[in-house]
Amino acid sequence: MTQWSGYFGLIMQGALVTIELTLMGSVLALIMAFLAGLGRLSRFFAIRALATAYIEFFRGTSIFVQLFWAYFVLPFIGISLTPLQAGVLALGLNVGAYAAEVVRGAIQSIGREQYEACTALNLGRWQGMRHVILPQALLVMLPTFGNNAIELLKATAVVSLISLADLTFQAQVVRSQTGNTLVPFTTILIIYFVLALIISWGVRSLERRMARGLDGVRV
């Protein structure tokens, strides 16, 4: 029993790394989602083209290849990343590309009358976007953002391939040392599920809060 408590300690250490990856990767993904999503709606062709290229590239290539490129290829051009940094970069850029289309679609789903009201109130393009359009669009974005965050959580397992001691890596360590597959992988299965439930609960709570405050935003 003492031996297994030590192994469970390893798995919990891996859980902390997975949580850290998920949080930092989600922050990067959110930043890239708004930059690229708003970029797709820009009046300037160069910005639209750059945003589209980013989205199509990271949606169209494998997260495995992106991770390996960040960790093994970037050092050849003088950029060396730790396994954690490479994992955050690859996960954030990959999920951010998918979330960017959520941002674009949510903004475009807002009724034309809201844009006309912004014009009637003499609000500039970005004033209207900031104070009227985005608050309403955020409510549309949230459910899919929650799905994206859960997908990012599950995708953190790929970082075990570059020897980052996340949940999956630690489960493999326990399996190799004990010869038992059932216990470590059932344990991390439950942990991943609980973490996903926490994300879902957090997004739903935020969605309800935002919905209550939205009436004061519509014009």
Which tokens is 138 given?
């955020």
Share of the chain above pLDDT 90, in %: 62
Q: Please spell the DSSP secondary structure of 119-138, one letter per residue.
A: HHTT--HHHHIIIIIHHHHH
Locus of tokens 């976007």: 129
- Has residue 214 got a pLDDT over 70? no
Cβ–Cβ < 8 Å for 122, 65: no
Locus of tokens 């957090």: 202
Which tokens is 13 given?
């250490």
How far, in Å, CA of 92 to CA of 94, rounded?
Answer: 6
Q: Does domain 15-167 have CATH number 1.10.1740.10?
A: no
How far, in Å, CA of 78 to CA of 193, rounded?
Answer: 38
Least confident piece of the model among 34-43, 97-106, 124-133: 124-133
| 92 or 107, which is more confident | 92
Q: Give mean pLDDT, residues 2-24.
A: 87
How far, in Å, CA of 103 to CA of 96, rounded?
Answer: 10
Locate all alpha helices (DSSP H) within the chain, ordered by sequence: 2-40, 45-60, 63-68, 83-109, 112-120, 125-128, 134-155, 167-178, 182-213
Which tokens is 4 given?
């297994």
Give the rounded distance of the alpha carbon of 188 from its chain centre.
Answer: 20
How far, in Å, CA of 170 to CA of 188, rounded?
Answer: 9
Question: Is this model's pTM higher than 0.75 or not?
Answer: yes
Angle at CA 50, nearest 5°, toward 44 and 55?
Answer: 125
User: Looking at residue 13, what is its pLDDT?
Assistant: 93
**pLDDT class for 69, splitting at 50, 70, 90?**
very high
How far, in Å, CA of 48 to CA of 59, rounded?
Answer: 16
| 118 or 110, which is more confident | 110
Q: Which amino acid is at 24?
A: M
Pick from 175, 155, 143: which is nearest to 91 by CA?
Answer: 155
Which tokens is 110 given?
């807002």
- Has residue 93 got a pLDDT over 60? yes
- Has residue 127 got a pLDDT over 80? no
Write the pLDDT tens digit of every residue in 128-178: 666 667 778 888 888 899 999 999 999 999 999 998 889 999 999 999 988
Q: Which amino acid is at 96?
A: G
User: Looking at residue 83, what is its pLDDT?
Assistant: 94
| 59 or 118, which is more confident | 59
User: Looking at residue 30, what is its pLDDT?
Assistant: 95
Q: Give mean pLDDT, residues 27-48.
A: 93
How far, in Å, CA of 40 to CA of 56, rounded?
Answer: 12
User: Looking at residue 109, what is its pLDDT?
Assistant: 81
Write the pLDDT tens digit of every residue in 186-203: 999 999 999 999 999 999
